């Protein structure tokens, strides 16, 4: 086996430039297409009235629940040379071979960019819908009085105000693109994340894969820094009045149906069509999809996701209770150390699954080797791979990656709990632990259940970390589906795939509902203030 230096040097001399350039091209392509889809949809839903607006306001987030590699399989099956679309074209026009006509190659960087954009544009849509809905009412009214058309108002007011939000949302899309493994691997597009996977399991060289992960981390942290930098712009919207429904642009005639048609086309391409195909597979292959394997792997996935969700919530409680206690005792007040544990624990969410797997497997393996040496020397007992050879590694990876969800949610909720409640509890002789148990936990019950549910569902969907860290012979629903996708036999795992999609809908609907409730409260507050005035 070649050394890590030799493998890495060989990659650097041959294909490393292609890995990096393909990754950059994918990020640019997916971000551009996501912006072209999400930006106009956000403007239409937030600022205009058209047929179906109420339905599309929540339905347009549904494609985010559809795993990209499932969409990639379905569309490649449709548009490949042997697919129904090209067969129909050849039969209709009498073409005999690929030399007789040109057709878009979906198994390419542009094709993969379209596929990923169809499932990632909701990031842009959700961010910008909230931003546009909170546009400064005074500026919008002034724009109308000056005779600006909706198009002019869009370019002169909405886009400049939302510039920071656009950058932040595209940074998230870029991070998701870099982290995507399954779609890139299925389309045979060599990016940094597939390079890590191939170097690890192809060359069996973990140190070389770790070096590639460092390069990938640099790209991720650059996007993460951009996203963090733009968050300050969000404060501009929270201080403004919500845009009143009466101020929306009323679309009519062809413009109204054009808006409805565009939203329908995007929703159909990103969610409805793939869902219908999966349902068709289930109907045609029912005897095969409802199998003992599906039940076994589904049960394993549920068990692991449940443990990961409980542990992630416990981690969030420990970190946030510790932060609150430190503030009350003034031990770390006004120092950079105070929020550091929560920030470090939240960074795992930005890591791609392949990189996270390497960051876990290397120290765990070293610990196992050291423990085996010590136990053999002292007790003549060798436990073997007691961490990486079990589901512990997968659960640990899930907790590291998804703890950011409950940490942020609990932190925001605890900030709204008045410190006077703590002081009153202490004045009655209750310590911090009893106060947390009797006051904080009941007040946090709803957010704990919600964030725990989000971690549970994200753990059910996670693929790269599970694919790299699973013990021999162990499968989750995600790895089970991907194995069939890789073998061009998705129909045999269509029920498992649809189960993942349905589970993925739950957090999307929760987040969308919370976002709409927040906006509605602002609208009601403004209406009440205007009525009083």
Residue 519 lies in a domain: no
Give the integer Cα–Cα distance in Å for 523 and 475. Answer: 48
pLDDT at 457: 82
Better-scored residue on pLDDT, 396 or 16: 396
Note whether 435 and 394 are within 8 A (CB): no
The answer to whether residues 289 and 274 belong to one domain is no
Better-scored residue on pLDDT, 288 or 420: 288
pLDDT at 197: 84
The answer to whether residues 236 and 301 belong to one domain is no
The answer to whether residues 339 and 382 belong to one domain is yes
* Mean pLDDT across 513-527: 55
Q: Which residue has the tokens 């057709």?
A: 103
The answer to whether residues 244 and 306 belong to one domain is no
Give the integer Cα–Cα distance in Å for 182 and 272. Answer: 21
pLDDT at 458: 83
Give the integer Cα–Cα distance in Å for 83 and 74. Answer: 10
Give the integer Cα–Cα distance in Å for 477 and 493. Answer: 9
With H, G, I as helix, E, B as strand and everything else as coil, classify residue 49. strand
CB-CB neighbours of 142 under 10 Å: 13
pLDDT at 235: 46
Structural domain boundaries, residue 294 = 285-486
Residue 329 lies in a domain: yes
Looking at the structure of the chain, the number of domains it has is 2
Better-scored residue on pLDDT, 411 or 142: 411
Residue 131 lies in a domain: yes
* pLDDT > 90 fraction of the chain, expressed in percent and rounded: 21
Note whether 409 and 446 are within 8 A (CB): no
* Mean pLDDT across 164-193: 88
The answer to whether residues 325 and 375 belong to one domain is yes
The answer to whether residues 258 and 351 belong to one domain is no
The answer to whether residues 349 and 467 belong to one domain is yes
Better-scored residue on pLDDT, 522 or 308: 308
* Mean pLDDT across 99-117: 90
Note whether 350 and 356 are within 8 A (CB): no
pLDDT at 236: 45
Of 261, 282, 303, at which residue does a domain stop? 282
Nearby residues of 528 by Cβ (< 8 Å), 6 or more positions away: none
Nearby residues of 18 by Cβ (< 8 Å), 6 or more positions away: 190
At what angle are helices 404-415 and 392-402 packed, to 10 degrees? 40
With H, G, I as helix, E, B as strand and everything else as coil, classify residue 250. strand
Banded pLDDT at 27 (limits 50, 70, 90): very high
Query: Residue 124: is its pLDDT beyond 70?
Result: yes
Q: Which two tokens stand for residue 299?
A: 């049960």
Note whether 461 and 478 are within 8 A (CB): yes
CATH number of the domain that residue 70 is part of: 1.10.3720.10
Residue 532 lies in a domain: no
Of 282, 313, 343, at which residue does a domain stop? 282
Taking only the tens place, the pLDDT of each residue in 184-236 is: 999 989 998 888 888 887 777 778 888 888 888 888 878 777 766 665 544 44
* Mean pLDDT across 422-434: 70
The answer to whether residues 236 and 374 belong to one domain is no
pLDDT at 26: 95
Residue 524 lies in a domain: no
The answer to whether residues 227 and 347 belong to one domain is no
Residue 408 lies in a domain: yes
Residue 517 lies in a domain: no
pLDDT at 108: 92
pLDDT at 202: 74
Is the entire prediction scored with pTM above 0.85?
Answer: no
Of 451, 471, 486, at which residue does a domain stop? 486
Give the integer Cα–Cα distance in Å for 167 and 231. Answer: 10
CB-CB neighbours of 390 under 10 Å: 14
The answer to whether residues 204 and 291 belong to one domain is no
The answer to whether residues 188 and 311 belong to one domain is no
Banded pLDDT at 240 (limits 50, 70, 90): very low
Query: Residue 522: is its pLDDT beyond 70?
Result: no
Note whether 313 and 441 are within 8 A (CB): no
Give the C-alpha distances (Å, rounded to integers) separating 143 from 11, 114, 149, 244, 247.
Answer: 56, 35, 8, 15, 12
The answer to whether residues 297 and 262 belong to one domain is no
Q: Which residue has the tokens 């443990």?
A: 307
Query: Residue 354: is its pLDDT beyond 90?
Result: no
pLDDT at 35: 95
Residue 17 lies in a domain: yes
Better-scored residue on pLDDT, 100 or 144: 100
Note whether 308 and 459 are within 8 A (CB): yes
* Mean pLDDT across 472-486: 89
């Amino acid at each position: 086996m070649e050394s890590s230096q030799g493998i890495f040097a060989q990659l650097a001399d041959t294909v490393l430039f292609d890995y990096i350039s393909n990754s950059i091209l994918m990020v640019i392509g997916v971000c551009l297409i996501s912006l072209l889809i999400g930006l106009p949809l956000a403007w239409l839903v937030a600022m205009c009235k058209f047929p179906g607006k109420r339905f599309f306001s929540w339905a347009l987030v549904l494609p985010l629940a559809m795993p990209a590699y499932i969409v990639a399989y379905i569309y490649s099956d449709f548009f490949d040379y042997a697919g129904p679309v090209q067969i129909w074209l050849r039969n209709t026009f009498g073409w005999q071979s690929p030399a007789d006509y040109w057709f878009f190659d979906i198994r390419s960087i542009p094709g993969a960019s379209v596929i990923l954009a169809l499932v990632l544009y909701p990031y842009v849509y959700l961010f910008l819908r909230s931003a546009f809905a909170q546009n400064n009412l005074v500026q919008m009214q002034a724009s109308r009085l000056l005779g600006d058309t909706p198009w002019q108002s869009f370019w002169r007011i909405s886009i400049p105000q939302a510039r920071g939000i656009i950058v932040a949302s595209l940074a998230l899309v870029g991070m998701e693109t870099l982290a995507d493994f399954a779609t890139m691997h299925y389309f045979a597009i060599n990016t940094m994340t597939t390079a890590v996977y191939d170097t690890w399991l192809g060359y069996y060289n973990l140190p070389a894969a770790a070096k590639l992960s460092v390069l990938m981390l640099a790209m991720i942290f650059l996007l993460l820094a951009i996203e963090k930098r733009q968050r300050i712009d969000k404060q501009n919207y929270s201080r403004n009045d919500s845009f009143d429904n009466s101020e929306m642009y009323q679309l009519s005639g062809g413009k109204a149906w054009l808006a409805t048609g565009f939203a329908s086309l995007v929703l159909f391409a990103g969610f409805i069509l793939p869902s219908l195909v999966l349902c068709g597979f289930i109907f045609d292959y029912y005897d095969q999809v409802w199998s003992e394997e599906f039940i076994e792997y589904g049960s394993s996935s549920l068990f692991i996701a449940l443990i990961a969700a409980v542990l992630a919530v416990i981690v969030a409680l420990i970190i946030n209770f510790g932060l609150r206690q430190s503030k009350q005792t003034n031990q770390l007040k006004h120092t950079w150390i105070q929020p550091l544990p929560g920030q470090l624990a939240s960074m795992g969410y930005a890591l791609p699954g392949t990189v996270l797997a390497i960051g876990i497997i290397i120290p765990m393996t070293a610990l196992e080797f050291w423990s085996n040496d010590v136990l053999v020397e002292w007790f003549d007992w060798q436990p073997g791979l007691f961490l990486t050879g079990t589901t512990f590694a997968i659960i640990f990876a899930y907790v590291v990656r998804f703890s950011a969800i409950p940490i942020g949610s609990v932190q925001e909720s605890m900030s709204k709990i008045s410190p006077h409640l703590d002081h009153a509890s202490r004045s009655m002789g209750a310590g911090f632990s009893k106060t947390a148990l009797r006051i904080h936990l009941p007040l946090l019950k709803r957010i704990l259940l919600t964030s725990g549910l989000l971690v549970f569902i994200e753990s059910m969907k996670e693929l790269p970390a599970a694919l790299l860290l699973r013990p021999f012979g162990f499968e989750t629903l995600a790895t089970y589906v991907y194995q069939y996708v890789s073998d061009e036999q998705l129909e045999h795992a269509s029920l498992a795939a649809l189960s993942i999609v349905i589970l993925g809908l739950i957090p999307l609907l929760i987040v969308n509902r919370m976002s709409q409730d927040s906006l509605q409260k602002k609208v009601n507050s403004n209406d009440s203030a205007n009525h009083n005035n």
